[in-house]
């Protein structure tokens, strides 16, 4: 089995000047495509179960799926809880075999966010797994506005929580369907100057591919979360499959045709973050 913790894959990335893809999962077919893409590229992958995924499939089932997929390949696979909002979320993921917990206290006052994230980090480390936290708030396309990360608060957060990775808000937005924006590189430099831990970009689909590649190689950003970009590839392939055969109805047949396209898209994402 190649199951790994977040620290297992991000510390080498920090030292080696590259980043790892945190690929947002929704179901078995995309999870399998992501793991097969990582194996084909010879790269680690972080399988992420966010709130929408957990609303569809219970955490114990997701943990078993992630672990089963990790056993099929030779590359490191992280079973990661994305946006856990409560201690109960994180404890359930830990009990379900996850190897990494992301606690999101970014909507809370700084002191509360630090205290609660530190509690989750201690719980994770006691169990031999990793913890990611978020400082600043990453907003949503056509939804909540972002609140940029303050470098001084980031330094305090990293020091007092003991997280293994820190998600930051530097112009990134969740659920963005285009790459017309870009990240604030000056703010990134200011944050990385005051901490030594790996940095994480949520909403990575909205970051131009060239900038993702550049930042992966030249900064402490070691993890880009990619969801919307891959979901769009899934949707496009699914629509094309149904147009080709209007009478098709078998779910397994349809998804068997779609899965290779998801794998191609995932390979492209992972390759773009890898070391030269």
Q: Whole-angstrom Cα distance, residue 167 to residue 19?
A: 13
Q: How many CA atoms lie within 13 A of 85 on its CB side?
A: 6
Q: Provide the H-helix boundaries in 101-227.
A: 110-126, 151-161, 185-192, 209-218
> Under a CB-based contact definition with an 8 Å cutoff, are residues 102 and 84 in contact?
yes
Q: Which of 8, 30, 36, 82 is catalytic?
A: 82
Cβ-based burial of 276 (10 A; exposed 0-12, middle 13-18, buried ≥19): exposed
Residue 14, both tokens: 């920090």
Q: Whole-angstrom Cα distance, residue 70 to residue 63?
A: 11
Active site (annotated) includes residue 82: yes
Active-site positions? 82
């Amino acid at each position: 089995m190649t199951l790994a913790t977040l620290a297992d894959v991000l510390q080498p990335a920090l030292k080696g000047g590259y980043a790892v893809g945190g690929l947002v999962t929704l179901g078995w077919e995309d999870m399998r495509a992501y793991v097969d893409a990582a194996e084909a590229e010879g790269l680690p992958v972080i399988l992420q179960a966010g709130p929408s995924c957990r609303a569809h499939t219970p955490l114990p089932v997701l943990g078993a799926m992630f672990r089963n997929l990790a056993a099929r390949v030779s590359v490191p696979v992280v079973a990661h809880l994305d946006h856990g909002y409560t201690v109960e979320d994180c404890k359930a993921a830990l009990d379900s075999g996850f190897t990494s917990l992301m606690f999101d206290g970014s909507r809370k006052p700084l002191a509360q966010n630090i205290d609660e994230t530190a509690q989750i980090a201690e719980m994770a480390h006691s169990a031999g797994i990793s913890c990611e936290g978020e400082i600043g708030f990453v907003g949503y396309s056509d939804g909540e506005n972002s609140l940029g990360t303050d470098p001084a608060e980031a330094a305090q957060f990293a020091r007092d929580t003991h997280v293994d990775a820190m998600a930051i808000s530097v112009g990134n937005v969740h659920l963005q369907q285009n790459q017309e924006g870009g990240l604030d590189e000056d703010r990134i430099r200011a944050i990385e100057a005051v901490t030594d831990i790996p940095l994480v970009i949520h909403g990575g689909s909205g970051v131009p591919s060239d900038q993702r590649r550049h930042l992966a190689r030249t900064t402490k950003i070691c993890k880009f979360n990619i969801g919307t970009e891959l979901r769009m590839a899934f949707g496009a392939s699914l629509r094309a499959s149904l147009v080709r055969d209007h009478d098709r109805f078998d779910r397994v047949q349809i998804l068997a045709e779609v899965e290779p396209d998801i794998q191609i898209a995932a390979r492209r994402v992972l390759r773009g973050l890898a070391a030269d």
